[in-house]
Chain A
Amino acid sequence: MRSKRYIVSALVVTLALVLLSACKPAPTPTPVPPTPTPSPYPMTITDMAGREVTIEAEPQAIVSLSPANTEILYALGLGNKVVGVTEFCNYPPEAQERPKVGGFADVNTEKVVELEPDLILASNIHIAEVVPALEKLGLTVVVIDPPDIPAVLEGIKFVGKITGKEEEAEALTAEMQKRIDAVAEAVKGREKPRVFWEISSDLWTAGPGSFINDLIVLAGGGNIASEAEAPWVQLSNEAIIAADPEVIFLADHPFGETAETVATRPGWDKISAVVNNRIVELTETEIDVVSRPGPRVVDALELIAKALHPDAFK
């Protein structure tokens, strides 16, 4: 009977060895040789995550792993070179017709490989695992994820530089800067209304270091969560009532929150924004615009500034 033990052990070990022998790693595919024409390529750059990346030649097939990066590519006239996008890339509308490579955090690596991109634009969410995985497969990945508005302009110029669209990027960012300056001029010297930006009905909001906080400040508002300890925080009902916001933005409007539902919350009927009916119900499109560090960030800025200072934009 004891010998059965050996049989079992031997069986298990054999099975393990069979599997081991199947594990010979495949060699990585050789990279495309650089073009001989005089050009800025191969170009070694440091991306927005501080990684050094070499771009061998002017990218001809680009995969975007974030909606904001997709918008940048299209705004620079690179739409015809975009070969893959995410499920959430809905702007410009023609981007939706491109092959999908996954959601936002979940990237389908085999789909990416199939599209044979020579450039992949990733975002912060991909740094830990997706970017190393794609690089192991011999792909060129650049992280573009601007943390604030000035960085968005930098990001656009950066994409322009690595894709041979430097002039287009200069023109686009100059136009954006003009609109940002115009908003700054319009709201200058005006009183800053207190703002509560509601992300969800359990009172999550955007604190300092978040993109939305930046937009509120540039649009001439005062975020009631500006003292919070993190970019995304949950406030208590009491704290919001005590802060008495003058304008409330409902980024959860697509999930059913409205000026009416907000007014029925205990204690909220006394909040200035509710009393004066200054509650902005954001549409899904508007939420996309304010949450994407891309070219439409100026639309977001104007949208918020107009809601905060209607008189300044008459």
Chain B
Amino acid sequence: MNARTDLQAYKAHSMSRRLVALAIALLLLLALIALGATWGSVHIPPSAVVRLCSARLMGGGVPADWPRSWETILFQIRIPRVVLGALVGMTLAVAGAVYQALFRNPLADPYLIGVSSGASFGATVAIYFIWRFAWGGLNAISLAAFAGALLATAAIYSLARVGGRTPVTTLILAGVALGALLSAGTTFLMFTARDAFHTIHVLGWLMGSLALANWGEVQAILPYLIVGFSIIGWHAHTLNVLQLDEDQAQALGIAVERVKGILIIAASLATAAAVSVSGVIGFVGLIVPHIVRLIWGPDYRFLLPMSAVVGGVALILADGLARTLLSPRELPLGVVTALVGAPFFLYLLRQQKREVF
């Protein structure tokens, strides 16, 4: 065998090993979605969960020997919550990975250019002015957060345009500046809220929670996630080049500015949808892509799907802790993701002794 076929064989081998890893992770995610349905402050034994599910799927034939409330708890509270958690985790991780490549910056996360500050401001305005409307499965707070996130990102993107180009440094700086402005607005509204409970409500939203998740929210955000993920997945190879050097990408015939715009729109749309129903959950979008990169390397064709799966797993686990640690009370999700995620990431960083980025 000559050297070339050796290399090809090695590449094929490493690709198949990664696909196996991805398949295992995917199974883990699906298993966790099932397992998540058995966690909660009301004890429903796993065997009852299985019987409840088979009764639902077969539409009868299974004797209903459980309290009726269990059906509501399982199908209208827990399962939508776990599914929504998985979707939010996937979105944050994928968007984080995209931004890290686009900005060639290891500190980039999905909130870098306005999504969190815009969403927070929007949600705060809705809480402050006691907006009550609802549309398409989302309440006023979610809708205002979604609109706020998109408007802030659009504003930052257009402000950062310099002579037909959007340099990443300008983009980051515009993001920091507008983010500070919006955060000041959020704090101002919190501070001047007529009722103390509005302040508590905003604070709770800012720290993230899936406590009131429902199918309406899942269905409302799913189209944005599918569109966003598809566009991002399509550009996986481009991201491989972009994460190294924009000039080189240009030289290879990639329309850098156009692709950058498309990817920012796709990632922001998906993140805005996720954040609008979950609040600002930190750390997942920053760390999950790094974990995947540390273990399996920086190839975006693998990094993107793997980040999605690991992100979903991470958020389901974090939400499981959030709702069981202090049961029947709940911890803010953002607190758990940072509390558990940071030490785990530091541990991984020490273990690997490998360049992270």
**Chain B interface main SS type:** helix
Contacting residues, chain A, for B321 (C-beta < 8 A): none
Q: Is B130 close to A, CB under 8 A? A: yes
Q: Is B219 close to A, CB under 8 A? A: yes
Interface string of B40-57 (1 = CB under 8 A from A): 111000000000000010
Contact of A5 with B236 at beta-carbon distance under 8 Å, contacts A12-B308, A19-B83, A132-B139 already known:
yes
Contact of A105 with B200 at beta-carbon distance under 8 Å, contacts A8-B305, A25-B215 already known:
yes
Q: Is A100 close to B, CB under 8 A? A: yes
**CB proximity of A226 to chain B, nearest CB, Å:** 16
CA of A9 to CA of B237, assembled, Å:
11
Contacting residues, chain B, for A22 (C-beta < 8 A): 33, 79, 83
For this complex, into which size category does the number of interface residues on chain A fall?
Answer: 35 or more
Q: Which of A111-119, A151-159, A173-181, A299-307 contacts B (4 or more CB under 8 A)?
A: A111-119
Interface string of B14-35 (1 = CB under 8 A from A): 0000000010001000100100
Q: Is B76 close to A, CB under 8 A? A: yes
CA of A9 to CA of B308, assembled, Å:
12
Contact of A230 with B192 at beta-carbon distance under 8 Å, contacts A29-B71, A128-B127, A137-B77 already known:
yes
A4 touches B229 (CB 8 A): no
CA of A2 to CA of B323, assembled, Å:
43
A8 touches B236 (CB 8 A): yes
Q: Is A312 close to B, CB under 8 A? A: no
Q: Is A239 close to B, CB under 8 A? A: no
Contact of A15 with B141 at beta-carbon distance under 8 Å, contacts A20-B222, A26-B71 already known:
no
Contact of A5 with B83 at beta-carbon distance under 8 Å, contacts A16-B225, A113-B73 already known:
no
CA of A22 to CA of B87, assembled, Å:
12
Interface string of A112-130 (1 = CB under 8 A from B): 0111100000001100111
Contact of A106 with B211 at beta-carbon distance under 8 Å, contacts A2-B237, A230-B192 already known:
yes
* A117 closest partner in B (C-beta): B69
Q: Is A11 close to B, CB under 8 A? A: yes
A102 touches B330 (CB 8 A): yes
Q: Which of B71, B72, B130, B230 has the most CB of A within 10 A?
A: B72
A133 touches B237 (CB 8 A): no
Interface string of B104-145 (1 = CB under 8 A from A): 000000000000000000000001001010100001110000
Contact of A23 with B194 at beta-carbon distance under 8 Å, contacts A1-B237, A12-B308 already known:
no
Contact of A4 with B197 at beta-carbon distance under 8 Å, contacts A15-B26, A26-B75, A100-B328 already known:
no
B229 touches A101 (CB 8 A): no
Contacting residues, chain A, for B127 (C-beta < 8 A): 128
B301 touches A4 (CB 8 A): yes
B328 touches A111 (CB 8 A): yes
**Set B22, B77, B225: member contacting A109, Cβ < 8 A:** B77
CA of A128 to CA of B47, assembled, Å:
36
Q: Is B178 close to A, CB under 8 A? A: no
Contacting residues, chain A, for B355 (C-beta < 8 A): none
B83 touches A231 (CB 8 A): no
Q: Is B195 close to A, CB under 8 A? A: yes
A108 touches B330 (CB 8 A): yes
Contact of A125 with B201 at beta-carbon distance under 8 Å, contacts A5-B237, A15-B26, A106-B330 already known:
yes
B329 touches A136 (CB 8 A): no
* B77 closest partner in A (C-beta): A110
Contact of A5 with B222 at beta-carbon distance under 8 Å, contacts A26-B56, A103-B329 already known:
no
Contacting residues, chain B, for A281 (C-beta < 8 A): none
Instruction: Give A contacts to B, CB under 8 Å.
Output: 1-2, 4-5, 7-9, 11-13, 15-16, 18-20, 22-23, 25-26, 28-29, 87, 100-103, 105-111, 113-116, 124-125, 128-130, 132-133, 136-138, 209, 230-232
Apart from the given pairs A13-B229, A22-B33, A137-B76, 17 other A-B contacts in the complex at a CB distance below 8 Å: A2-B237, A5-B233, A11-B22, A12-B232, A13-B233, A15-B26, A19-B83, A20-B222, A20-B226, A106-B204, A106-B329, A113-B42, A113-B77, A124-B195, A136-B216, A231-B195, A232-B195
Q: List 15 A-B contacts (CB under 8 A).
A: A5-B237, A9-B230, A12-B304, A22-B79, A25-B215, A28-B76, A102-B330, A105-B204, A106-B204, A106-B209, A106-B211, A108-B329, A114-B69, A125-B200, A128-B130
Of all A-B residue pairs in the complex, the 5 with the closest CB atoms, nearest first, are A26-B75, A9-B233, A125-B197, A25-B215, A108-B328
